[in-house]
Structure 1
Amino acid sequence: MIRSKSRIYGGWLIAMITLVDTLSSCWFGYDQGVFAGVLVSDNFKEQFPETRDANISGITSSTFFIGAALGSIIAFVSGDKLGRRKTIIFGLTLNLIGAVLQFSSYHLPQMLVGRIVNGLGIGLTSTTTPVYLSECVKSHYRGRLVGIGTGSNVTMFALANWISYGLYSQRGALQWRFPLAFQVIFFFAVAPLLLLVPESPRWLLLAGKDQKALEVLAQLAGKDIPINDRIVTAEFQSIKVAIDLEREDRTPILDVLCFRDKTHNFRRLLLSCGSQLMQQFSGINALGFYLPTLLTEIVGFDQQMSRLIAAVSATVYFISTFGSLFFIDRLGRRKLMLNTTVALGACQLIAALALRQSDADFSNRKIMGNLATAMFIVYHVFFGIGWASVPWIYSAEVNSLGWRTRGAAAATATNWLFGFVVTQFTKAGVDNLKWRLFLMFAIFAFAFFPIVLFFYPETSNRTLEDMDHMFIQNPSVFVLGKPDMTERRRPTSFIDAETQRIGTV
């Protein structure tokens, strides 16, 4: 049988799809880091004096999150209709428009509109690119490849902090306009790649484009692989049967919301959203957007040292995030979440107690301030290893094909919505709660341990079609003590179920 005429096959094609996710994640990470330095720039404050008010400063930062949450909602509603590639292209275009509006701003309303439009684009791309990649790669390296995107996200977060530090000596508008303009580079890096990569084969099957899906599966399998190859047709049949079974068992939305559907789609969506909510309430964006401010106003460093420490912390963060690639498939998603949430809580608790002691005894302020700063840096190590990657990978894996875009969109919207909440109250929290703000984050982190332990199944080393079988066979919301739901290795029952699916076609 004749296969696709594309000249890009196998590993090279997977590398290009990974690069689409990676470069999109780079833009996402850069946008998360760039505004912390912008907010403390003297020329920015002169241009936008309203931002000297803590509430206005918070709004200027957090409107980005509002836009991103709205972008995720658009992906929820329209993602399956547009397809993965078109949704990403739409998001990148909005990113470009938002970036231009921001770096060319002379009035606060234009800056706010630019932040919202930029956020809309990031909401669309951050929802869709992990799903697109996860639908195109094999289960045994899916976690690492999606994790590369997260690592790249944090790499650009670190770069944004170093650019902020490098421009500290600049006293003019360049100090903040250049960092905001730099992000335009990402558009011209990723947009050409989208002209070369195919649509997700799973979305093509969902859209009824069976022949095209078969061609893409052959294209992903490697050079000179025909569409009637045994491995290609077996994968095609497994996906198609899973989709057909899902369609046959489709239940009214009210039944889904009441957990009465066999595949537990709403439960899986809640697990996706929960992982993103826990990520935000561990305090990562409080540090990401306001670490220089925290170090200046609470710890007592001058602005230059605060920027340098923020840049060093971001560098440690990105190194540890790439370290997660070693653990993500070896330990599995559950163990990483369980172990690192305890570490995050410990870091926040020690930092809170150190800052409390600093307030109580001014003679120890320098020592206690250094201890708190060290804990912020160690916090980024453990967050990078675990929570930076896992929620994004988890939401791209755990949902069924018919709900994957919606599940990822709802999870991403949760991330952005509560990122907005955390970013908005952080400055007021610093002013009013002082060290108690970090105690609050410590309590949250420790509370996440039993939630993951009792309710979160393992998703590593499973095919995306295994997920339906896993939830059908284990309808209880409690997963502790159930090997099929918690062990890292792919259970034998899942392999048998896949063999049966293939044999029914």
Structure 2
Amino acid sequence: MTPSPTFLGLKGQPLVYAVVACSSFGFLLFGYDLGFMGGLTTSPIFLNQFGNPNPSLLGFLVSSYEVGALCGALFVFALGDRFGRKPIDIAGAVIVAIGAAIQTSSFGVAQFLVGRLIAGFGLGMMTTVIPVWLAECAMPRNRGRMMAMQLSNLIMGLIVANWVDYGMSFYPGSIQFRFPAALQIVFVIIVVVLMPWLPESPRYLANVGRMAEATISLAALRGGHPDEEAIATEMKEIRYAIEIEAEEQGSWSDVFKDGGISGFTRVAIAFSANFFQQLSGVNVMSSLGPYIFQESIGMSRYDALLVSGGLQVFYFLSSLIPWIVVDKAGRRRLFMIGSLGMGICMMLSAIFVGIGTKGLGYAAAVVLYLFQTFFTLGWQSNMWIVRVDPTGLCWSVLATSSARPPVDYPWAQWLMQLICPLYPSELLPLRLRIRGGALAVVSQWLWTFLVVEITPPMITNIGYRSYIVFAVINFCTIPVVYFFYPETSQLPLEAVDLLFADRDGQRPSIFRVVRDSRNPAFMAEVNATLEERASRGAEQAEMEKPSTMGVEDITKV
């Protein structure tokens, strides 16, 4: 038997943990880059170095990073699978390092902006491909936990950024902003040094026809031998899934059509979900926390940095709550609870800041802490947590192939977990999932840029009324979710497709779709239909079994 392959002397779960560690440093860099500029917006040395920029320019200095990230994400979507997960991630990390070096050495606004845009472009590349790489390498039974570690490290990056800013505020000279900017390179070095020694995604390698390499990579990740039956079987399953996805690949024009599947409606809801998430005001606190606490609430610079650092720690602790309740409460309920809580917190902040006493200023800080809890409960949990279908059935694939596999195939759960990391992914049909997901990413970075860009001028020009703007948006989100967002929690993906299917020869309105998604009797009928289809698919797969490629043929490819 061929020896079991290793990477860095590791195989099986220890090797997966090494992949997780590398991915986690990438997401820690993501959080750090989002947060480190917040403390600099209140640094007199930083502001003097760049000509004391007005609030609009200051907002653009911070938000230009999101513009770069948006371009980087679109660049990766355009590339598709041409270069692989690892090369794109390494290239993105190198670009981040170049941008960080330009920021560190900056003496003028133009140079600093160029550095921010370049670093953002690299980070957009990294954050687009890292979750995919990890999901395709992790074992099915713990993929959700591996992805959860990424999210925790994003928040950990925010914590590191805020406390670095606080520590550097006690040092005189330009090191106050040059050291935080340069520290990005440390995380980049870790990623660039570690990643070349780790396996490429078996799924990517299989997708481009490099089957021998894919088999070795998969064997190492599973702790097995390349020629053993279990590895060969999983390789066949990966090839099958790739073929099904290729058959269902839609075009960009399909995103704007009904297509018999309410395509445009579902894409519009997915796009709006990112809109409401970012317009909630969460990135005001993530990217501009010290600025808000100093300029709006009236704290001293050091108190603002200290309270902002504490806010990110509280944010991290709050992010642990949704993992307990997210699949019990349902998507819609958490969306609405989160928006209601965030709206109340923003309204209370407006009242406290508007009155303007010192004691109420600290009360405003407290409710902004609570704001983070409601955000993690409502909009972070539903938009970032990996969804695991308890049935273990990949209905999207079962519904799209004439050569359906048996319903107890373990890869069905593997693929279900892989393609459903967000509410938009649960909502979108298979044909539109990649391109609709790309538009959702565009929505996320676009609205993040807008919020971070407009916040400093808002605080300067309308003061406490800024909080009212975000409160109104959060309150308006509640009826939008109630009337237009179907419930998708714990539903197989084909069940979502059936929600949008014709009823009595007519396309149902979105209001009826939402109503039916909350109707236990209707969903029982949907589940019965799914079971019938799965049974027919299993019988047909058994009949066609002799014509399929054997395990030994796969291993020889």
User: Shorter-normalised TM-score: what interval?
Assistant: 0.7 to 0.9
> % of aligned pairs identical?
29
Distance in 2, Cα, partners of 1:57 & 1:73 = 26
Q: By how many angstroms is 1:186 displaced?
A: 0.5
Aligned to 1:109: 110
CA–CA separation in structure 2 for the residues paired with 1:460 and 1:200: 28
What's the CA shift for 1:116?
A: 0.2
Aligned to 2:33: 31
- The 1:234–1:122 alpha-carbon spacing in structure 2 relative to 1, beyond 3 Å, is same
Distance 1:3 1:248 in 2: 36
Deviations 1:285-312 (A, max 9, x none): 1222322222223222221211111111
Change (3 A) 1:127 1:334: farther
1:286–1:160 distance in 2 versus 1, CA, 3 Å: same
Asked which structure has the greater CA Rg, the reply is 2
Q: In the alignment, is the contact (CA less than 8 A) between 1:347 and 1:379 conserved in 2?
A: yes
The corresponding residue for 1:374 is 366
Which residue of 1 is the match for residue 441 of structure 2?
412
Mapped to 1, the partners of 2:266 and 2:211 lie a distance apart of 27
Match of 1:131 in 2: 132
In structure 2, what is the Cα distance between the partners aligned to 1:328 and 1:222?
Answer: 32
Aligned CA distance change for structure 1 residues 104 and 250 (closer, same or farther; 3 Å) = closer
Which residue is 1:67 aligned to?
A: 68
CA contact (8 A) 2:255 2:432 kept: no
Which residue number in structure 2 is paired with residue 449 of structure 1? 478
**Equivalent pair of 1:272/1:395 in contact (CA under 8 Å):** yes
Match of 1:20 in 2: 22
Q: CA deviation at 1:321?
A: 2.0
Task: Assess if the C-alpha contact under 8 Å between 1:272 and 1:391 holds in 2.
Answer: no
TM-score normalised by length of structure 1: 0.85
Q: Is the 8 A contact 1:96 1:118 kept in 2?
A: yes
| Matching residue of 2:195 | 194
Residues 463-497 of structure 1: per-residue CA shift (max 9 Å, x gap): xxx64x3454333553443379999xx96876876
- The answer on whether the counterparts of 1:455 and 1:480 sit within 8 Å (CA) in structure 2 is no
C-alpha change, 1:330 and 1:97, in structure 2 (3 Å) is farther
Give the conservation status (yes or no) of the 8 Å contact 1:131–1:396.
no
Residues 50-109 of structure 1, C-alpha deviations (whole Å, 9 max, x = no match): 42x112111211111111111111012113322222221121111111111111111221
Change (3 A) 1:128 1:402: farther
Counterpart Cα distance in 2 of 1:493 and 1:139: 26
Cross-structure match for 1:290: 288
Structure-2 separation of matches of 1:122 and 1:383:
24
SS at match of 2:172: coil
Moved more, 252-261 or 78-87: 252-261
Report the AA paired with residue 465 of structure 2. Answer: R
State whether residues 5 and 225 of structure 2, in contact with CA within 8 Å, keep that contact through their aligned partners in structure 1. Answer: no
Q: 1:101 to 1:305 in 2, by over 3 A?
A: same
Residue of structure 1 equivalent to 2:259? 260
Matched to 2:271, the amino acid is C
Judging changes above 3 Å, is the alpha-carbon distance between structure 1 residues 278 and 323 closer, same or farther for their aligned structure 2 residues? same
| Structure 2 partner of 1:439 | 468
- The corresponding residue for 1:362 is none
Cα shift at 1:253? 3.9
Q: Return 332-341 or 345-354, whichever deviates more.
A: 332-341
Which residue pairs with 1:475 in the alignment? Answer: 500
Amino acid at match of 1:276: N
SS in 2 for 1:81: coil
Determine the structure 2 residue equivalent to 1:90: 91
Map of 1:5 onto structure 2: 5
Q: Deviations over 1:192-246 (max 9, x none)?
A: 33223333333334434455445544443334585522xx566555554444334
* Pairing 1:110-259 to 2, within 5 Å after superposition: 110-137=111-138, 141-210=142-211, 212-224=213-225, 227-229=228-230, 235-259=234-258
Structure-2 separation of matches of 1:496 and 1:211: 38
Tell me, which stretches of 5 or more residues in structure 2 are unaligned? 385-420, 502-509, 549-557
Name 1:42's counterpart in structure 2: 44
Q: 1:493 to 1:352 in 2, by over 3 A?
A: farther
Amino acid at match of 2:379: W
Query: Is contact 2:169–2:176 with CA below 8 Å preserved after alignment?
Result: yes
2:32/2:160 contact within 8 Å kept: yes
Cα–Cα, structure 1 residues 496 and 75, in superposed 2: closer, same or farther, change >3 Å? farther
> Residue 166 of structure 1: CA displacement?
1.7
Output the amino acid matched with 2:156.
Answer: T
Aligned residue for 2:80, secondary structure, equals helix
AA in 2 matched with 1:132: W
Task: Determine helix, strand or coil for the equivalent of 1:144.
Answer: helix
In structure 2, the residue matched to 1:426 is: 455
CA 1:211–1:225: 2 relative to 1, 3 Å:
closer
Cα deviation digits, residues 111-149 of structure 1 (max 9, x gap): 111000010011111122122223334566444322221
**Normalised TM-score (structure 2):** 0.78
The one-letter amino acid of 1:376's match is L
Cα distance between partner residues in 2 of 1:324 and 1:144: 13
Instruction: Please give the alpha-carbon distance, in whole angstroms, between the structure 1 residues aligned to 2:370 and 2:257.
Output: 41
CA distance in 2, matches of 1:139, 1:461: 17
Point out where structure 1 has 5 or more consecutive residues left out of the alignment: 360-364
How many equivalent pairs are there? 489
RMSD: 3.4
Change (3 A) 1:254 1:450: same
Q: Is 404-413 or 18-27 further displaced after alignment?
A: 404-413
CA change 1:57–1:198 in 2 (3 A) is: same
Offset of 1:273 from its aligned partner?
Answer: 3.4
The offset of 1:380, in angstroms, is 1.5
Shift of 1:169: 2.1
Indicate if the aligned counterparts of 2:41 and 2:291 stay in contact, CA closer than 8 A: no
Structure 1 residue 377, shift from structure 2 partner: 0.8
